[in-house]
Homo-oligomer: A and B are copies of this chain.
């Protein structure tokens, strides 16, 4: 059975396991105060061309979104997100669990835009009743978005400008960031992102690590006592060096770039095959998530040999299915899938 359900179905890049094994019996301080974490932070700062950045490591994406948003958003304020944003839909209320409302904007193709954000804020502050409403304080975007689409440098810059105009911070969820960085047509580098946004994270769980997300506060702007805040969310890993080691490996010799490109290459092949065979794409993109419209008989036929994800009903007879490649997707599996389509 082929599995194209998601990009976290395999373990880690072998080099990561080698290093965990090599260092297994070293005695290291806990909670991220180890030399591997220090080294990984320095490599990330360099990759971002951002010497002032504060780098932190957490275990998973929802945990990171919850911890960061809670830390940078005043207790009475909320976070603006695409209606389709992960924090809005698929985190089981983790943001609200910390007392913050998720304020949603329409999200064609999974993205918000500066004009909608501007209108939202202008309406909010124009309305004499806004004292009884939730102040927008943080703006959340995902790159790539939940539909695999990408913000351009111009789009992200405009969102940041609007955010800052209204005294909001811009937080970028990069759970799949490396698949965006290496996608065809992308014009946003890691350096750009570090310059434009206030805080973002580089996902490891979906791009070659066993687990782990590297949070970057780009202007030396870590929240006060952030280690304590991480601990309070139950998010402080005792053996923190496991996170440091993984990111140190990914950011050595640009491993993260190389393995991310593999996912996009395989996705490009599948996309080309889908088009050639007359399938329609629901959300056009160039990253590792393909959202394809399939009729029910096709879904049933394929399901005998391939696992895919279900996104949503398209109409009575069709659904939007997700085919997801990853750093680990092999050419052999890709060829088999294409043959089956």
Binding site for B on A (CB under 8 A): 3, 5-6, 8-12, 14, 17, 20-21, 23-31, 59-67, 70-71, 74-76, 78, 89-94, 96-102, 123, 127-129, 131-135, 205-206, 210-211, 224-225, 227-229, 231-239, 242, 310, 313, 328
Contacts and interface: CB of A to CB of B under 8 A. Distances in A.
Q: How many copies of the polypeptide does the oligomer hold?
A: 4
Contacts of A98: 75, 97, 99
B96 A205 contact: no
Given A11-B20, A29-B9, A239-B11, A231 B92 contact: yes
Given A24-B14, A93-B99, A128-B310, A67 B234 contact: yes
A95 to B, nearest CB: 8
A135 B228 contact: yes
Nearest to A75: B75
21 contacts: A3-B27, A8-B30, A8-B239, A9-B27, A11-B23, A11-B26, A17-B17, A17-B20, A17-B21, A60-B234, A62-B231, A75-B98, A91-B231, A92-B231, A94-B233, A96-B101, A98-B99, A129-B310, A131-B227, A205-B239, A234-B234
Contact of A76 (B20, B102, B232): B232
Contact of A234 (B11, B21, B94): B94
Contact of A132 (B92, B127, B211, B224): B92
Contact of A59 (B5, B30, B59, B64): B59
A122 to B, nearest CB: 11
A108 B17 CA distance: 44
B24 A12 contact: yes
